Chains A and B, each alone.
Chain A
């Protein structure tokens, strides 16, 4: 009896869970088929997903990458996958991706926007990621001066002189605060810097340029004369090459067209392979032809530049004497005659200045704003608006909470006015109305105007986002800052802003993403951003009728940028999660 036990003395070995609760089956049961409602939803979703993929995948896979027009895309898809096949025409992206990225920026200068973009990333990196060495921060202040210079080109003196203005302001501050009064130092220094930028930068730049130009004129004249002599020959040679190759390509194209119509008439295996190989063989000659045409375009532009410059140089002595005589006449002219003389003088001055500017330029070839386009334009406008709107927004938010009546009224008025107006209206003001109100002939750059408007728009929204962060702070934080004896700016910098900004990160990044996407609106005022360019590409007879491929590519690019911003915001939130939650 005693060795009878009613209780187990040893534990049962662990058994593996039932087959239906582990592995894939278990996961499926738990997550997809846990009850009848979920089962139905899962099945419906599966059918939906299958339908979507069944529609899209063949279109993606049965695509054409090498054709040079929509018609050829269709022929190629038909030949490769049968007459009933529908396929994407990704060849348009292959031909135009550089255009979609850089717009009409001269292709031989693509390194400049690429370098500018790289520099921007390097300058932003230490601000965005605190793990990076702090010494990199010293580079960041220079990016705003170097990047525009890289993008727009021009003399090297302008960015240097602009930086010198900052140096000047610093020196004035130091001198005034040590010798006169610290209170006066900052406004006076700001005034000096602004006066320097407005009235000294361009004259100094012009003077230096004129000095260099005078030395260079003989060299440049000889150089241009050489160019004007040599280039037409080169262009003629290219013309001949293009004509010869063009004929070969033309014959091959005609053969290919005949094969395509043969295929359309009777679908045989031989006809299919013939069409495919014809298109494949055309690729090399076509690329060669396109390369030659590009060379010719570059040469033509060079020749055009050289001719204009040479004509200007040859007319320079004459223009200078005309200028002297006009000045002499102007000294004792009156009334209507005076106005006429002044107009003529302005024309002559203009001609002299344009030649001097071109000859004496030390720096990069200038690129006009209207050549900007594609993602380069979106990124330029977006980055400027994003980086400038945050500080302006902080200032506006603080202004709106300020006790100073006028300051508050200005900030509230600005924010409410800008938020009450659609961005498109502001863009139209920038492109259309400003044209009417500015004096004729002022070339206030259209992209600069758009950047200012988008920045103002983003700032107003940013101010409200940050005000939300400020409002979320308990009053005790403000009182604690006061109790510590901090003045207003120190309190903001050390206590209020770090917390308010942390709270507003999701809102701030949402505004950033929104602004970046809003840059596509500039296509409405005729700037060729990616969407505007997609329209221009469709206007080419070869690609007319292509919609999904272009929109798909643009959407993908936008997704990459916006998704990275969103991921960065989440990273930042995780990193700054210091609260006791």
Chain B
């Protein structure tokens, strides 16, 4: 009985959301601002500076989308959301797009009625240990105490991993990443496990980062990407191809430094011309101005530039491209053709 009530409410909500999302593009244009859902704070992905301006890897996608749709990367209203409030905010129309390190899963895509428009970061769960422990592989962690955030998929992944390898562990449940750092540094647990990007960011803050090692095993697939509501395919297309434009721009060598020059007149590469709107009418098909991709790329650079600026190896987060390199460099970033 209780379940049917909830399901009924969700169905109604789904229908309403569908009705609300019928013309997201029109709504955004009339409002003159894009409402973009982001994290309340995650190192490298979303954080406010002293002036209250948000920046980060996930935020950069929002800015690119605002650039594509409104021609102005600052015409944006950021809505900071927790893991619990993010989906209702999107379903109810409070935000137009969600770019908040959200893992693409079947239930979220199908049951919660969202459309993932692509993957902007391939993450996976890893382990961090003090070097003094002398462990080089996660399979040697038999009997270890593990700090783990409760109520997340990482908890389930961890149980699976230890069970398949037939070794035991003792969980130390914690609530937030900040708490985990303190517990781990204080020696309350031997191992800290969370997404590999989070581990790298956490290790960077330690007083002696060299004393800690991130183990080579990655035990889960966490494809993170932006998403929109079901029911407005036109808007989903815009969100999807904005992401693709950023990725394609890197592949084609279009950067924030040379884009003005390349967009000024048709180049010798027809795909660049189609992307930048100097040839063809791709903007028109999307319902956007011809230079939509130019504005999107100028907002923060192409995918590679964004990566290097916020989470790349020169930043304190210090992540290598790895799986997130272009497919031409052995990674998984592969934008469909602009044709």
- Give Cα A96–Cα B21 distance, bound, in whole angstroms: 38
B40→A435 contact, CB < 8 A:
no
Q: Residues of B contacting A301 with CB < 8 Å?
A: 74
- Give Cα A299–Cα B329 distance, bound, in whole angstroms: 40
Residues of A306-342 at the interface with B, using a CB-CB cut-off of 8 Å, are: 307-309, 311-312
Check B111 for interface membership: any CB of A closer than 8 A: no
Check B52 for interface membership: any CB of A closer than 8 A: yes
Minimum Cβ distance to chain B for residue A127 (Å): 35
B80→A311 contact, CB < 8 A:
no
- Give Cα A526–Cα B42 distance, bound, in whole angstroms: 13
Residues of B63-106 at the interface with A, using a CB-CB cut-off of 8 Å, are: 70, 72, 74-75, 77-82, 84-85, 88-89, 91-94
Overall SS of chain A's interface: helix
Check B178 for interface membership: any CB of A closer than 8 A: yes
B315→A541 contact, CB < 8 A:
yes
Check B51 for interface membership: any CB of A closer than 8 A: yes
* Stretch from B12-20, B156-164, B247-255 forming part of the interface with A: B12-20
* Stretch from A197-205, A436-444, A498-506 forming part of the interface with B: A436-444
Q: Residues of B contacting A294 with CB < 8 Å?
A: 51
Minimum Cβ distance to chain A for residue B309 (Å): 11
A304→B75 contact, CB < 8 A:
yes
Minimum Cβ distance to chain B for residue A295 (Å): 10
- Give Cα A565–Cα B201 distance, bound, in whole angstroms: 41
Q: Residues of A contacting B182 with CB < 8 Å?
A: 547
Minimum Cβ distance to chain A for residue B192 (Å): 13
- Give Cα A309–Cα B75 distance, bound, in whole angstroms: 12
Check B223 for interface membership: any CB of A closer than 8 A: no
Check A255 for interface membership: any CB of B closer than 8 A: no
A343→B88 contact, CB < 8 A:
no
A436→B39 contact, CB < 8 A:
no
- Give Cα A547–Cα B31 distance, bound, in whole angstroms: 39
- Give Cα A436–Cα B72 distance, bound, in whole angstroms: 31
Tell me the nearest residue of chain B to A103, going by C-beta.
Answer: B52
- Give Cα A96–Cα B48 distance, bound, in whole angstroms: 10
Q: Residues of A contacting B82 with CB < 8 Å?
A: 524-526
Tell me the nearest residue of chain A to B26, going by C-beta.
Answer: A347
A536→B48 contact, CB < 8 A:
yes
A525→B206 contact, CB < 8 A:
no
Q: Residues of B contacting A351 with CB < 8 Å?
A: 30
A435→B178 contact, CB < 8 A:
no
- Give Cα A290–Cα B84 distance, bound, in whole angstroms: 34
Minimum Cβ distance to chain A for residue B321 (Å): 18
- Give Cα A312–Cα B70 distance, bound, in whole angstroms: 13
A290→B50 contact, CB < 8 A:
yes
Check A227 for interface membership: any CB of B closer than 8 A: no
Tell me the nearest residue of chain B to A432, going by C-beta.
Answer: B88
Q: Residues of A contacting B265 with CB < 8 Å?
A: none
A436→B51 contact, CB < 8 A:
no
- Give Cα A206–Cα B186 distance, bound, in whole angstroms: 60
- Give Cα A437–Cα B92 distance, bound, in whole angstroms: 9
A439→B16 contact, CB < 8 A:
yes
Residues of B157-200 at the interface with A, using a CB-CB cut-off of 8 Å, are: 176, 178, 181-182
Among candidates B44, B75, B206, residue contacting A308 with C-beta atoms closer than 8 Å: B75
Check A520 for interface membership: any CB of B closer than 8 A: no
- Give Cα A368–Cα B94 distance, bound, in whole angstroms: 13
- Give Cα A14–Cα B315 distance, bound, in whole angstroms: 80
Q: Name the interface size band of chain B.
A: 35 or more
| Known A-B contacts A99-B48, A544-B201, A544-B316; A524 and B84 likewise in contact (beta carbons under 8 Å) | yes
Check A538 for interface membership: any CB of B closer than 8 A: yes
Check B317 for interface membership: any CB of A closer than 8 A: yes
Among candidates A432, A536, A541, residue contacting B40 with C-beta atoms closer than 8 Å: A536
Minimum Cβ distance to chain A for residue B69 (Å): 12
| Known A-B contacts A350-B30, A440-B93, A547-B178; A540 and B49 likewise in contact (beta carbons under 8 Å) | yes
Check B245 for interface membership: any CB of A closer than 8 A: no
B74→A304 contact, CB < 8 A:
yes
Tell me the nearest residue of chain B to A440, going by C-beta.
Answer: B20
Q: Residues of A contacting B202 with CB < 8 Å?
A: 544-545
Check B22 for interface membership: any CB of A closer than 8 A: yes
- Give Cα A301–Cα B74 distance, bound, in whole angstroms: 7
- Give Cα A154–Cα B49 distance, bound, in whole angstroms: 27
Among candidates B20, B50, B85, B176, residue contacting A95 with C-beta atoms closer than 8 Å: B50
Among candidates A347, A440, A541, residue contacting B17 with C-beta atoms closer than 8 Å: A440
- Give Cα A104–Cα B178 distance, bound, in whole angstroms: 22
Check A70 for interface membership: any CB of B closer than 8 A: yes
| Known A-B contacts A432-B88, A544-B201; A104 and B32 likewise in contact (beta carbons under 8 Å) | no
- Give Cα A347–Cα B26 distance, bound, in whole angstroms: 7
A545→B181 contact, CB < 8 A:
yes
B32→A354 contact, CB < 8 A:
yes
New A-B pairs, 14, CB < 8 Å, besides A99-B50, A532-B40: A107-B51, A297-B51, A308-B70, A436-B9, A440-B92, A524-B84, A525-B82, A526-B79, A526-B82, A535-B178, A536-B41, A539-B42, A541-B47, A545-B202
Task: Please list 15 pairs of residues, one from A and one from B, whose beta carbons are closer than 8 Å in the complex, sorted by A's number.
Answer: A74-B207, A104-B48, A293-B51, A297-B53, A347-B26, A347-B30, A435-B89, A436-B9, A436-B10, A440-B93, A525-B84, A526-B81, A536-B41, A540-B43, A541-B47
- A-to-B contact residues, CB < 8 Å: 70-71, 74, 95-96, 98-99, 103-104, 107, 290, 293-294, 297, 300-301, 303-304, 307-309, 311-312, 343, 347, 350-351, 354, 368, 370, 428, 431-432, 435-441, 523-526, 528, 532, 535-541, 544-545, 547
Which 9 A-B pairs give the minimum distances between C-beta atoms? A545-B205, A539-B41, A308-B32, A440-B20, A536-B41, A435-B92, A539-B47, A540-B47, A104-B52
